[in-house]
Structure 1
Amino acid sequence: MGTATALILTGLATDARSAAPVSKANTNTTASASASADINVVKNAGFEAGLAHWTCAGGSGATATSPVHGGATALKATPSGQQNAECTQTVAVQPNSTYAMSAWVQGGYAYLGARGTGTTDVSTWTPDSGTWKQLTTSFTTGPSTTSVTVYLHGWYAQPAYFADDVSVFGPDGGGGGDDDPEIPATPTNLTAGSTTTTSIDLSWTPVAHATAYHLYQDGTRVLTATGASATATGLAADTSYAFQVSAVNAAGESAKSAPLTARTRPSGGGDGGPVPKHAVTGYWHNFDNGATIQKIRDVQDAYDIIAVSFADSTATPGEITFNLDPAIGYGSVADFKSDIQAKRNAGKAVIISVGGERGNVTINSDASATAFATSTHALMREYGFDGVDIDLEHGINSTYLTKALRQLSNLAGPDLVLTMAPQTLDMQSTSTEYFKTALNVKDILTVVNMQYYNSGSMLGCDGKVYSQGSVDFLTALACIQLEGGLDASQVGLGTPASTRGAGSGYVDPSVVTAALDCLTKGTRCGTFKPSRTYPDLRGAMTWSTNWDATAGNAWSRTVGPHVHNLP
C-alpha cells in the first residue's frame, strides 16, 4: 500500500463552447427497446462521403484514409488555438424518445455529445489513445424536441483526434437513416458476470450500427438482446457452457464472437460464495512497523476479508512464497495455519496479498504467468488461503496478469476470492493496465478496493478535480469504476485506519460512511452526487487491521456495522 503519483488535470470539467458536461463513457449503455423500428439517424456516419452533413469549426475537419475503424475513410479533426475542432450534425428525432449514441475515436482527447435534447444534454470523453475506442452514451428527447445537435470535439492544444462510425439509434424523426448501412462488426470482450446455480450474466462491448445481438449457447441461439448484456437462464448447476454473441441490423448478422466458457455455481453451496454481499476488507501485517502486532486470531470481527500482507517473490519470475515473520510471535507455522482455519470456520475469507509499497512480482510472460498461478495455488493449499489480493504498485502487464489469474481460477475453482488494491492513478481510465486487468477478469473478480490515499487531487467521473480526504473524492472517483464497467458488487472504498496508516488521505470514519450512503442511497453526498445509486456496492477496505487496533478500533467499529447494514 504505497504512494501514488498525483495527477491533476484542470479545465476539463466543462467545454465552455458546447456547454456540455464531461463524463466518463458508460460501456453498459443499451439500445432502444423498440429496436425493430430504430434507425441510425446520423447521415454519413462513417465519413465515406467526406464531410457531407457535418460542419467542422474553423476548417478543423478533414477526412483521412488512415487510421479508419470501418470503410475507407474517417474524420480527422485538429484543435488549434482557442478552438477544439468541434464537428457537428443536426439530426431529426422524435419527441419523448430515447436514443443510444456512440462513436469510435482514436488519437488525442475526444468527446462525443448531444445538445438541444429538450431534457438533459449528455457527453462522454476519453483521454488520448493509440487504438480505436468506442464512446457510448444515450439521451431522451423532450416533449417538443424534433432535432438534436450531435457533436464531436477534441481539446485545446491537444493532438488531432480521429472519429468513425458515429451512430444515434432510435426512432426515425423524419429525416431517414444513414445512407449506407453495413453489417455490424463482431462483438468483442464477451464477459461473464454474476452466476447462480441456474443462470449466468453476460456482457460485451457495444458495436456500431448494431440494432440487436444474438446470444448463442453451445452453438445454439438462445435469445436476442437489444443491449450489450443478457442473462442465460434455465441452466444446470455446476455445469460449463460455451457462449458466443453476434451483432445484427437490417443489413445482416456479424460473425460470432470468440467463445467464452463460463460455469454455474454448484448446488447446495448458495450463490454468495465465502464473501457476503456487503463486505469489509482489512490488511494484516506480517511484519512489525510500529503498529499493534496482531495474530490472525486477534483480527477484529468486523472484517470479512483478511488480506495477509505480503507474499514474497522468489528468483523465478512470477513465483511467490510466504515467510512468516518471527516478530509476530507465533510459536510455529502450524499455529498460524490453525488461526487461519479458525477465521474461515467463523465465516471469514483469508487471502494472501501480493505486492505492497516495496513488494514486486514480475509477470510479463507465459512462463511467469504459470509460475504465479501454480505457486499461489500451492500457498492456498498449504496455508488454507481462500484466494489472492493483487496489490502490485510497480507496474503490471494486463495481458500476462490476466493469464495468470485465469490459470489460478482454473486451479482453485469457483470459490476463489480475488481482490485488488490499485492506487488512484491506476483506475483513472479503462485504458490503464490495472483497469484493463480488472475488466478482463470481471467474471471471477470479487472486489477492487482502490486506495483513496497517498495520491493528491484527482479527476472524478465528471471530469472535475477533487481534493483527497473528502466525501467528493471517494464518491467521484468510485464513479469512474462504477460507470467504467465494474459491477457495483466489485467496488469497495479503501481508506487508512489512522493518520499513521498512510502519508496522506486519512479521513474520519464518518466520511467513509457518508460516501457509502451517497453511493448506495443518494444521501449524505458532498458537492458531487452520482446520477444514480449503486445499492449493491461491495463495501470498504482499510490499511490496516493493525493500524485500526492502534487507533482503538475506531475504523472497524464505525465502518464495519455500517457496511453490514447497507441495503
Structure 2
Amino acid sequence: MLYSFLLFAICFFAARADFEEAQVILDLSTANSTQSAPHWVVYADQYQSGVTGPPAASTIEGYNVFILSFLLTEGAWDKAYEWTTLTADERTAIKSDYAAAGIKLLVSVFGSTDVPTTSGADPNATATTMAAWVIEYGLDGIDVDYEVGIRGTAEEWLISFTTALRASLPKDKYIVTHAPVAPWFTPNSYVGGGYTKINKEVGDLIDWYNIQGSTEYTDCDGLLAASSKTWPETAMFEIANNGVDLSKLVIGKPATASDATNGHMNASMLATCLETAKKSGWAGGAMAWQYPNADASWISTVRSLSWPV
C-alpha cells in the first residue's frame, strides 16, 4: 500500500512538473502578445556560427520583432529548426530575455522554397498544424511568407489559411502577419484579386504586412508616393489609398545588396524615407531581411531620423 502511494506521488509530481514547465512556455508566448506600431522587424534564416536559434536580445537593440525562418509544410528548417533543438528550459530563458527587452519572437512559414498551393496542401489542415507548432514551441505568433505567386487560386487558399490560423491563434494572444511582395497589391492585375482581395476578406485577422520591397522602390518617391508603370499603385501610400490600413504597412528592405537580387537601399537613404513618411502620418515601422547583416547598427541608422533608438 505504501509502495503504491509513493509511486502515485512520484508520478503525480512528475506530471505536475511537466505541466508547469509547459505552462511557463505557454504563458510567455501568450501574455500580452499583441503589439502596437511602429514594428521594427528582422528575419533570420542564415546559419550563424556559435548561435543556435535567436541571438541574445542585447545584440538586436532597436528591433521589437525577431522572426525565425522557416517552418515549411514538411517541418521546421534553418533557424526554426534550431529553435526545436533547444531544451524547454533554454527556450524559456530566451523568451524571458526577449520579453524583458520588449521583443516578440515569431516564426515565418513557407518562404521561397515551399509551394503549398501547387503541392496540394490543404489550407485548413496546414494552418492547424503550423499553429500547433507555434503553441508547442512557445512563440508569439506566425508570419506568412507565401512566395509561390498569385495566379488566381492562391488568394482563396491564403484566405482560408489565415482564417484557420486565427481560429487556433486568437488575436488577443498571438500575432499573425503576412509578408507579400509589394507588386501583389497592384489593383486589377490579378484574376483572383491579389492581396487587395486578401486584405478585404481577412485583413482584420492580420496584424500587419511586412511588405517586401525587393522588386524595385529604390528611392523615396518610388517607395512611398508613386511606383513605376511596371507595378502601378504599389508604393506605400498608393497601397493605403487602395484600402489597406496605413498603420499596417511595414516597409521591408534587404539589409545589403547581397541579401536580395534587387531593391536594396542603403540604411541612410531608408532613414530619410521613414522621416518623410512619418511627417505624412505613417507609423508602420521597418522590416529587414536579414540578420546578422541587419544588425543593431543597421536598424539604429534606419530609425535615426524618425524614431531614434
C-alpha separation in 2, matches of 1:511 and 1:325: 30
User: Which one of the candidate residues 416, 433, 447 is aligned to 2:208?
Assistant: 447
Match of 1:492 among 247, 250, 257: 250
**Does the 8 A contact of 2:38 with 2:284 survive in 1?**
yes
- Summarize the alignment of residues 69-84 of structure 1 with structure 2, pairs less than 5 Å apart: none
Q: C-alpha separation between the residues in 2 aligned to 1:292 and 1:470? A: 37
Partner AA of 1:449 in structure 2: N
Contact 2:71 2:109 in 1 (8 A): yes
Partners in 2 of 1:364 and 1:358 — Cα distance?
12
Distance 1:495 1:305 in 2: 15
Amino acid aligned to 2:128: T
The 2-side partners of 1:488 and 1:425 are apart by 16
Q: 1:502 to 1:291 in 2, by over 3 A?
A: farther
Partner of 1:311: 71
CA distance in 2, matches of 1:481, 1:498: 25
Question: How much has 1:297 moved relative to structure 2?
Answer: 3.3
Deviations 1:108-159 (A, max 9, x none): xxxxxxxxxxxxxxxxxxxxxxxxxxxxxxxxxxxxxxxxxxxxxxxxxxxx
Alignment of 1:357 with 2:112, yes or no, is yes
1:544 aligns to what? 290
Instruction: Evaluate the alpha carbon distance shift between residue 421 and residue 557 of structure 1 in structure 2; reply closer, same or farther with a 3 A threshold.
Output: same
For residue 506 of structure 1, what is the amino acid of its counterpart?
H
Aligned counterparts of 1:292 and 1:508: Cα–Cα separation in 2:
28
* 2:180 and 2:212 in contact (8 A); partners too: yes
SS of alignment partner, residue 514 of structure 1: helix
> Which letter does structure 2 place at the counterpart of 1:534?
G
Q: Which amino acid is the alignment partner of residue 360 of structure 1?
A: V
Match of 1:421 in 2: 179
1:400 paired to 2:153 = no
Match of 1:470 in 2: 219
Is the 8 Å Cα contact of residues 180 and 210 (structure 2) preserved in structure 1?
A: yes
Q: Provide the C-alpha distance between the structure 2 equivalents of 1:375 and 1:304, rounded to a whole number of angstroms.
A: 26
Give 2:195's aligned residue.
434
Distance 1:544 1:447 in 2: 19
**Could you tell me which amino acid in structure 2 is paired with residue 542 of structure 1?**
A
Q: Between Structure 1 and Structure 2, whose CA radius of gyration is higher?
A: 1
Aligned match of 2:281: 534
Distance 2:84 2:123 in 1: 32
Are the structure 2 counterparts of residues 475 and 339 from structure 1 closer, same or farther at C-alpha, using a change threshold of 3 Å?
same
Q: Partner residue of 2:300?
A: 557
Q: Secondary structure at the match of 1:297?
A: coil
SS at match of 2:276: helix
Instruction: Give the residue type in structure 2 aligned to 1:558.
Output: T
Q: TM-score w.r.t. structure 2 length?
A: 0.73
Three-state SS of the structure 2 residue aligned to 1:474 is: helix
Name whichever of 345-354 and 355-364 sits farther off.
355-364
2:168 to 387, 411, 421: 411
Task: Tell me the distance in 2 between the aligned counterparts of 1:389 and 1:326.
Answer: 12
Question: Is 1:506 the counterpart of 2:253 in the alignment?
Answer: no
Contact kept? 1:291, 1:547, Cα under 8 Å: no
Q: Secondary structure at the match of 1:311?
A: strand
CA 1:420–1:428 in 2, change beyond 3 Å: closer, same or farther?
A: same
Q: Secondary structure at the match of 1:548?
A: coil
Given that residues 386 and 417 in structure 1 are in contact (C-alpha distance below 8 angstroms), is that contact kept between their aligned partners in structure 2? yes
When residues 412 and 295 of structure 1 are mapped into structure 2, their CA distance, relative to the original with a 3 A threshold, is closer
Bigger RCO of structures 1 and 2 (CA < 8 A, at least 6 apart): 2
Change (3 A) 1:438 1:328: same
Partner SS, residue 388 of structure 1:
strand
How far apart are the structure 1 equivalents of 2:252 and 2:80? Answer: 28
Where do 5+ consecutive residues of structure 2 fail to align? 1-29, 226-234
Contact kept in structure 1, 2:179 and 2:211, CA below 8 Å: yes
**Is the CA contact (8 Å cut-off) linking 1:377 and 1:411 kept in structure 2?**
yes
Please give the alpha-carbon distance, in whole angstroms, between the structure 2 residues aligned to 1:538 and 1:380. 25
Please, which runs of 5 or more residues in structure 1 have no aligned partner? 1-268, 315-320, 457-467, 522-532
TM-score (norm 1): 0.42
What is the alpha-carbon distance in structure 2 between the residues aligned to residue 485 and residue 372 of structure 1?
A: 28
Distance 1:446 1:563 in 2: 22
CA distance 1:395–1:331, change in 2 (3 Å): closer
C-alpha contact 1:493 1:541 (8 A) present in aligned 2: yes
Structure 1 residues 33-54: Cα deviation after superposition (integer angstroms, max 9, x where no partner): xxxxxxxxxxxxxxxxxxxxxx
Instruction: Determine which of 131, 140, 150 is the counterpart of 1:386.
Output: 140
Question: Equivalents in 2 of 1:545, 1:475: separation in Å?
Answer: 24
Determine which structure has the larger strand proportion and give its number.
1
One-letter amino acid of the counterpart of residue 277, structure 2: L
Deviation at 1:295, TM superposition (A): 4.0
> For residue 4 of structure 1, what is the aligned residue in structure 2?
none
CA contact (8 A) 1:279 1:563 kept: no
- Greater share of residues in helix: 2
1:300 lines up with 2:54 in the alignment: no
Q: How much has 1:558 moved relative to structure 2?
A: 1.4
Shift of 1:353: 0.6
* TM-superposed deviation, 1:563: 5.3
Q: Using the alignment, how far apart are the partners of 1:475 and 1:291 within structure 2?
A: 37
Structure 2: which amino acid aligns with 1:474? L
Give the deviation of 1:322 after TM superposition.
1.9
Note the 1:319-330 alignment, pairs <5 A: 321-323=75-77
Deviation at 1:325, TM superposition (A): 5.8
What's the CA shift for 1:470?
A: 0.9
Q: Distance in 2 between matches of 1:419 and 1:326?
A: 17
Alignment partners' CA distance in 2, 1:400 and 1:391: 13
